[in-house]
Amino acid sequence: MANRHNKQKDNGITRREFLYGAAASIALAGGITVYRSYLAYEANRTQADRFFESFPDQIPGAASIEKFPTEGASHCLVHIQIVHGEPWFQIFEHYGADENSRITKESIMRSIENVQPIRRDTKKILEYLFRDQGIKSIYLEGYREKDPSSKEGIVKNFNLSMSELKRIQQLMNSPISKDEKEKLNKTSLPYYRYSTWALGNYGGALELIIDGKLKSKFGEIRRDDSLFDFSKNLEEKDKIRKGKGIDSPLLLKIREDELLELVSKSEDAIALTWYGGGHDFKDSIKEWNKSNPLDKFSFIRIKPDSYENVRLLTGKAEYKVQLKDGSIMTWSK
pLDDT given for residue 72 in this prediction: 92
Residue type, 206: L
Domain boundaries, the chain: 1-44, 47-332
DSSP, collapsed to helix, strand or coil, labels residue 122 as helix
φ, ψ for residue 215 (rounded to 5)?
-100, 130
Closest CA to 81 of 141, 134, 133: 141
pLDDT given for residue 35 in this prediction: 47
Instruction: Characterize the bridge pairing of strands 75-82 and 270-276.
Output: parallel
pLDDT given for residue 152 in this prediction: 59
**Where does the chain have alpha helices with state H?**
2-11, 15-44, 47-54, 88-95, 102-114, 116-132, 154-172, 178-210, 224-227, 234-241, 249-266, 282-291, 307-316
Tell me the sheet residues that pair with 332. Answer: 318
Q: Is the distance from CB of 104 to CB of 97 less than 8 angstroms?
A: yes
The per-residue pLDDT string of the chain (333 residues; one tens digit each, 9 = 90 and over) reads 444 444 444 445 666 666 566 666 665 656 555 545 544 555 568 999 999 999 999 999 999 999 999 999 999 999 999 987 766 656 666 667 777 788 877 877 787 788 889 889 999 999 999 999 999 999 998 777 766 555 556 777 777 887 888 888 888 888 888 888 888 877 877 777 777 777 777 878 888 888 889 988 888 887 555 554 544 555 555 554 444 445 567 778 888 999 999 999 998 999 999 998 889 899 999 999 999 999 999 999 999 999 999 888 877 777 787 887 888 888 666
pLDDT given for residue 243 in this prediction: 47
- Terminal alpha carbon distance of the chain: 101
Instruction: Characterize the bridge pairing of strands 328-332 and 318-322.
Output: antiparallel
pLDDT given for residue 257 in this prediction: 92
pLDDT given for residue 225 in this prediction: 52
pLDDT given for residue 39 in this prediction: 47
DSSP, collapsed to helix, strand or coil, labels residue 214 as coil
Cα gap 219→205, rounded to integer Å:
13
Cα gap 59→229, rounded to integer Å:
41
Q: Is the distance from CB of 209 to CB of 215 less than 8 angstroms?
A: yes
pLDDT given for residue 89 in this prediction: 59
Q: Is the distance from CB of 225 to CB of 141 less than 8 angstroms?
A: no
